[in-house]
Amino acid sequence: MTDITQGHTVQAYNQELGRLRGLVLDMGEYVLEQTRAAAQALIAGDADRARSVIDKEPKLDQMELDADEAIFNLIAKRQPAAIDLRLVLALSKIVGDLERAGDKAERIAWCVVRLLERDGQQPAAKILHHVRVLADLSCAMMERGLDALARAEVEPALDVFADDRRLDDELDAALRHLITFVLQDSSLVGQVVDLVFAIKALERIGQHASNISEQVIFIAKGKDVRYQNKEVLIEALRKRADG
């Protein structure tokens, strides 16, 4: 594990960088917790758990404000350069991705509330098959992205990229699967629409995890890999590590 918040002659500077990274990692863990709770509420038809996710959203907003304030104060006070500046800029972008991922978790929770209020029961298990798959995949991607950030290492970030294609494939499969239920029974249109919103939110959470992993590579390697072909990038970086 590489600790890039250490090594400064001014100990207070180390502490401020470490505190900032800690704030962002805490925010990430909270987002992951919210995502898991929202997905579980959807799969189990648990309205109380869904409302708990919604009620906890303001805490995430406060965590974002705290991180933004820490970033502003660090830039104003320390005027970071080189790798420190990369770290601060990357963490700022990661905070934005985490906030948007948290919003998607709340969106899933609202889908649960609407489904249960309208239908009085959760969707059939066969309809929820791909929801489970996407929930597991997006949470695993977010967990690995946060691990990559905590360790400031490239390899776990590349593992997140490796799931990008699978995430797209699972979303396509889920949409096709849901359409078949509408074709069989038009009364399921409202239910399916809410489930489409939910699976799209799960897919976006996975994409936010991928964005976080891009920033980890920027921190570790000083290379901006946004908009690059992920399969080519994985091969190039792993070859470089092996060499």
Q: What are phi and psi of 10, to 5 degrees?
A: -90, 110
In whole angstroms, give the CA distance from residue 30 to residue 148.
16
Among 64-73, 136-145, 150-159, whose mean pLDDT is lowest?
150-159
Q: Is 5 among the domain residues?
A: no
Supply the mean pLDDT for the chain: 90
The confidence score (pLDDT) of residue 120 equals: 77
Angle, CA 136 vertex, CA 195 and CA 38 arms, to 5°? 50
Across residues 237-241, what is the average pLDDT? 72
Q: Could you give the CA distance from residue 133 to residue 136 in angstroms, rounded to a whole number?
A: 5
Answer with the residue of higher pLDDT: 170 or 122: 170
- Burial letters for 133-154: b for 16+ Cβ neighbours within 10 Å, e otherwise? bbbebbbebbbbbbbbbbbbbb
Average pLDDT over residues 128-133: 90
Which residues contact residue 13 at a Cβ distance below 8 angstroms, ignoring those fewer than 6 apart? Answer: 78
CATH of the domain at 123: 1.20.58.220
Distance CA 21, CA 17 (A): 6
> Within a domain: residue 6?
no
Residue 2 lies in a domain: no
Q: What is the per-residue pLDDT across 15-35, written as a single tens digit (0 to 9) for each?
A: 899 999 999 999 999 999 999
What pLDDT is attached to residue 241? 62
Q: Supply the range of the domain harboring residue 86.
A: 11-242
- Phi-psi map region of 237: left, alpha, beta (phi>0 left; psi -120 to 50 alpha): alpha
Count of domains for the chain: 1
The reply to whether 224 falls in a domain is yes
Query: Tell me, what's the pLDDT at 42?
Result: 94
* Residue 13 scores a pLDDT above 60: yes
| Packing angle, helices 154-162 and 189-221, rounded to 10 | 150
Pick from 126, 127, 140: which is nearest to 205 by CA? 140
Residue 1 domain-assigned (yes or no): no
Predicted TM-score (pTM) of this structure: 0.90
Highest mean pLDDT among 6-10, 13-17, 201-205: 201-205
| Closest to 138 (Cα-Cα) out of 217, 40, 23, 27 | 40
Residue 94 lies in a domain: yes
- Decide if 56 is inside a domain: yes
| pLDDT given at position 123 | 85
pLDDT (0 to 100) of residue 3: 57
**Tell me, what's the pLDDT at 7?**
52
Domain-embedded: residue 136:
yes
Q: Give Cβ neighbours of residue 20 (< 8 Å, ≥ 6 apart).
A: 5, 67, 70, 71, 74, 88, 91
pLDDT digits (tens, 9 = 90+) for 40-93: 999 999 999 999 999 999 999 999 999 999 999 999 998 888 888 999 999 999
Gap between the Cα atoms of 11 and 217, Å rounded: 26
